Structure 1
Amino acid sequence: MALNVSDPASWAPNLTPDQFWNERSYLAGILIGAVAYGVHATLFFLTLTLLWARPRTHWKDYIWITYTAIVFIVSSLGNGGQFKFTQMIWIDNREYPGGPGAYFAEQSTAFESTLCNAAYIVNGWLQDALILYRFYIIFGGSVMTVLGPVLVFLGEMGVSIALLIALTTEGKTIRNEVAAQLFTSYFAISISLNVLLTLAIVAKLLFVRRRIKHHLQDSSSTYVSVSAMLIESASLYAVCGILFLVPWRLKSPVQSLVLPTLGQAESIAPLLIILRVAQGQAWSADTESRLATSTIKFSSSQHMDTIALSSANGSKGASTTRFHRGTGASEYEEDGVKVEEEIIKKHDV
């Protein structure tokens, strides 16, 4: 159909409905991913400010700052490469035979596209490494517990390196059979690992919550609240990963809506954890023992004595608890906790 300024129907390219949907979903996904990058950037500067304001007395303080900066820089490179490749698709090479969809499918080995893929794969390593570390900490620093996930993580790295080699080899694009299989394998391993670790961490925190539910207070809920479970387990990446992997396997254009956001989610999820570290709210090696230790206090009111049960934040292991009720004193052992009972005269006001 000849172009006619007065005929809007002639302005549309000669594409099938599926081609339209593919190109629209790709562009919409880039825009949604840009919003996710804005969230990432905001969290980065907020987290960096809090980390920098903390007293830096341990080498881990500098590790958190370095890790946060590396994740943001790598993510920014990937985002920039994606924006540039999008510009090449729709502006610089708009007359490419077959249109933007063909350019995207056939030229994904371009440097800008490769930079984007490499950056997001590296950030995937960093994200998975952090969730493995958190898994190790939350499960009491047990090497045997983390051994299996570490082996899976190493396998994931091997597959992703093979994928990068395939994507940078002439004639191998993301639509190529070999590259597509590696791409599927990489995300399947990464997302499965994250889902399993997410479920394990949530189960652990639920177990701790159940143990201390009878004396759960605000200070304790910081570690075992629903939001804490979702953040500590990096569930954001696991959810986004599932939302991407299913359409990818079904060869649905919906995958293009999710993939750019997934690339940012793998950076946002670790930052949310580090933000809790910067705020002093993250789970540490002795958190479980501190939550399991409680202090009971009595305060006198007009009609009765009031018992207040709270977590002893500075203690480890069993605590000594005192009861004041009348005159005299007694001492006994209960559940491994030494308890002294001093009886004082009750006031009748």
Structure 2
Amino acid sequence: MASTELATQRALYVGNTISSVVYGGNLFLYVYSTYLLMTSVKQVRHRRFYICFGGLLLLLLTIASASNNALCELMWIENQSYPGGPPAYLAANLAAWYNVFGTAADCAANILTDGLLLYRCYIILGSRLPIIIIPAIIYLGSATMAVMMVIESAMPMSNLWQGFAAQFGISWVALTVGFNIIVTALIVSRLLFFHRRVQSIFTDQQKSTYTGTVAILVESALPFTILGIAYLATYIQGVPSATAVGIIWGTFVVLSPQLIILRIAAGTAWSRDTASDITQTTLHASPHVSSSSSSSNTINKNPW
């Protein structure tokens, strides 16, 4: 077996192993956030939507993971004596229905995730429509390229790493990563702006809840964006490690929005009123009044 083919086999194994671990995390987060949404005594807006949305993402991830595992099981166990070995079987079955089905599920999850990120960006930036026009255009272009890639990958003897399918795939990943970079930058800049404003007013707990490191990482989906950049770089180069990075990136497509839903379920996510509440708190804050007492009445109310 050639070194490149062996590296691809390793990448498949590593990618599936790590994605299985992340899948378990996704499953736990969905069950836990659903429990919080169902048992919360506070009124949570769009409670049923987030439960259904998270469940749909988990279902799509399950289909994609099952497809990857089925391909590897057929390649390494059921057809290990296939002429040319596992590399030949992989090349001949990339366009198999179950593999295309898994790719379509991953693309659908990505479209839903980017849609949620666009909505969260709109909320965090004060519901100002002009700011999200460019990200929205990129989002539509990314969704179009994803659909075209799935259609092309279903053609007989098609290959996601070569030909038209690869061209559509690279365009899809590039647009998705570009979209995530823009949205992440907008959200991070907004949260850092408010973080500076509340430095001398909020308690440490209040600052960490709404403008802390965890809030910035989750609300902006920064880890997902960084991983997407790595996937795009390896995909363009066509190196074997792109397979592993792509599989892991596909699981983070669901992990990032599930973390956001968990914050919403816990009542710590940003809402339409959070920015205005912080502004009012800073305007009415007095150096003679305890910061914890002046801000808790405003910002600690349920944002949803």
TM-score of the pair, normalised by structure 2? 0.91
Give the equivalent residue in structure 2 for 1:222: 209
The counterpart of 1:236, out of the listed 223, 236, 250, is 223
Larger gyration radius, structure 1 or structure 2: 1
Letter of the 2:110 counterpart: G
CA contact (8 A) 1:244 1:262 kept: yes
The residue aligned with 1:36 is 22
Q: 1:261 offset after TM fit, Å?
A: 1.1
- Structure 1: distance between partners of 2:130 and 2:289: 42
Give the CA deviation at 1:253: 1.4
- Counterpart position of 1:46: 32
Q: Which runs of 5+ in 1 are unaligned?
A: 1-14, 299-305, 317-349
Cα distance in 2 between the residues matched to 1:171 and 1:146: 39
Distance 1:42 1:315 in 2: 32
Give the distance between the partners of 1:101 and 1:239, measured in 2 at CA.
Answer: 30
Amino acid of the residue matched to residue 30 of structure 1? Answer: N
- Which one of the candidate residues 206, 209, 224 is aligned to 2:192? 206
Segment drifting more, 211-220 vs 267-276: 211-220
Equivalent residue for 1:308, pick from 282, 290, 293: 290
**One-letter code aligned to 1:167:** S
Question: 1:282 aligned to 269, 274, 279, which one?
Answer: 269
- Structure 2 counterparts to residues 119-268 of structure 1, below 5 A: 119-217=105-203, 218-268=205-255
Q: Tell me the residue number matched to 1:72.
A: 58
The reply on whether 1:293 has 2:280 as its aligned counterpart is yes
Per the alignment, residue 302 of structure 2 pairs with none
Instruction: Verify: 1:87 aligned to 2:73, yes or no.
Output: yes
Secondary structure of the 2:159 match is coil
The structure with more strand, counted as a fraction of residues: 1
Q: What displacement does 1:236 show?
A: 2.1
Aligned AA for 2:233? V
Separation (CA, whole Å) in 1 of partners of 2:216 and 2:181: 13
**Residue 314 (structure 1) shift:** 4.9
How far the C-alpha of 1:58 sits from its partner, in A, is 6.3
TM-superposed deviation, 1:246: 1.1
- Structure that is richer in helix per residue: 2
Query: What secondary structure does 1:312 align onto?
Result: helix
| Distance in 1 (alpha carbons) for counterparts of 2:12 and 2:279 | 50
Task: Please state how far the C-alpha of 1:133 moved relative to its aligned partner.
Answer: 0.5
Contact 1:290/1:313 (<8 A) preserved = no
Query: Does the residue aligned with 1:213 lie in a helix, a strand or coil?
Result: coil
Q: Quote how far apart the aligned CAs of 1:35 are.
A: 1.1
Gaps in structure 2 of 5+ consecutive residues: 300-304
Write the distance in 2 (CA, Å) between the matches of 1:17 and 1:145: 48
Query: SS where residue 281 of structure 1 aligns?
Result: coil
Percent identical: 28
